[in-house]
Amino acid sequence: MKLTNLSTLVLIATSFIACDKGSESSFSENLSTTTVLETINSLSFNEDVDEMVAESMELTDRSASSSRSADATADKGPKHFEGDKYGKCATVVDDEENNIKTVTFSGECYGKRGQLRRGTIVITYSETRNEVGSFRQVEYSDFYMNDVKIEGTRRSEILTIDENGNRTGLRRIDPIGPEEQMFIHPFVVDPITDNIMYYPDETTIWRHSNLNNIQLTNEWDSISEGWSEAIDLDLSGREISCISTTKTNPSNRLYLGTNRKQLYRVDNANSNEPIITEITKYFDSGAGMVSGDYFHAYGHINNIAVHPNDGNVALTVFSNYEVYSMYYTTNGGETWSRAGGNLEQQSNGGGDGPSFRWASIMPFGEDTLYFVATSTGLYGTNKIEGQETSWTQMGANTFGNVVCEQVKTRAEDSLVVLATHGNGIYTTKIQSVNNVIEIAEVEPENNIHIYPNPASEYLIIETNKEELYEIYDLQGKLIYKDKITVPKTKVNVAAMPKGIYIIKVGELSRKWVKKD
């Protein structure tokens, strides 16, 4: 039986997205939704904490000879990490009787990556290690990283997977109360703790404040425990269409868009007294406004992109045709300026300009890069200059003018992930600002083509990879696998039930439909 470390929380949801509508870069096609989700959602903070917890668990008493244990200068007392990698003032006290380790950062503790920590982290752990059912749980006690307070708990547990790699532990976690879920329903998870989820229902936000307490019972029903109707916008004739959350400066802030131009900011969203502020840009006759200076009455807010280091900086994306498509704020929505630039054919948003679907903001050294996914491809810029903003097409020879539904970025390694409509998911790592402000001719590292789609009798796989191919249903069950025959492999699917399947070749995968 294989073992793997998996989080006790597996987010089973129908949504990959959180809302509705120089040097040559190298986009590579990678269509594994799970892989992309894990890639985008893995934050440097969590990686840092996981590494610190692992090293805390390996520290023994001061007389131990392990290279990771403390210097052998005393027999008892708090232990220190080797090389002061988490700061000289970081100490670990071990309560072996109760299986508790307490990591304390007193004073100003600067770690190996320059993070400033203060406060306490309490680690509880099971008697067994590296066995099924073993766990570690991290609780933050008045803990701050870079002056941002971290709250909640983080738990990991060893679960089993079968010989085909299928998870044996899961749980559906959406709340029972909501009745009007969208086809692709938005939700967000707090990016610092990974322990708080916000889930919109028409005009209300449901909140779950302790995801780590959800047990993986292999049940597929919605749950009520832990959920509360925390925020009510009291909308009239409108519904929440989009939700985003900030990471820092400030944390615990939500931005909520609607299907009829209204935009809201919710501060202290994790508390029992959230502060709701409408930040819609309305027409002001006394300000000399013209069409395009204010939000269109029927504008559908499809996405709100938030700067990862500054929660006051954001882009609001409207997906309608014939309306101005995107606005920019640097003060939490107190004021808005145009950001559509040269992608708008007419200054009021009319004409043949593309439908904007998604945006992302990525710090890049001393620069900030902006990306927008549209109905005619992916575009980027390094400056938002109102109507003079100059957007440059990216990936012109890779995915070209295909409809792009979503773009996400990760500043830690300059990763960009693009989700297209029916043409796969692409990734690249930005090496230079020129990758964004100049037309970059990019090629996929490798590719697979699967046709016909839908298929009734045979499926053809074209690829340059001599690997195994695997076919899974949407529950993750392995249906069939065999070897690839380069360059074409013919797969008999006539006996398979109709439905939607995933075919995986190495790390690449495609969705396809079996028809009668």
Please give the average pLDDT of every successive group of 10 residues along the chain, which has 516 residues.
32 38 45 37 56 74 33 54 68 87 83 76 82 77 81 70 67 86 89 91 94 82 92 91 95 96 96 96 89 93 97 97 95 96 91 94 94 95 92 87 94 91 86 69 55 86 81 80 84 88 77 79
Its pTM stands at 0.63
Q: Which tokens sit at 237?
A: 């004739």
Angle value at C-alpha 168, between 166 and 171, nearest 5 degrees: 115
Please write down the long-range contacts of 60-67, taking CB distance under 8 Å and 24 or more positions apart. 61/94
Q: Which residues neighbour 492 within 8 Å (Cβ) at sequence distance 6 or greater? A: 457, 458
Q: What domains appear along the chain, each with residue ranges and CATH number?
A: 43-161 (no CATH), 188-437 (2.130.10.10), 448-514 (2.60.40.10)
311: enclosing H helix or E strand: strand 310-318
d(CA 334, CA 350): 26
pLDDT value for 164: 66
pLDDT at 91: 85
Strand partners, 223: 175
Q: How far apart are CA 324 and CA 348, in angstroms?
A: 6
> What's the confidence (pLDDT) of residue 194?
84
pLDDT (0 to 100) of residue 29 = 46
pLDDT for residue 86 = 67
CA distance 46 to 252: 17
Question: Which one, of 275, 285, 178, 184, lies nearest residue 233 by Cα?
Answer: 275
> Which tokens is 404 given?
């792009």
CA dihedral for 453, 509, 502, 223, sign (positive or negative): negative
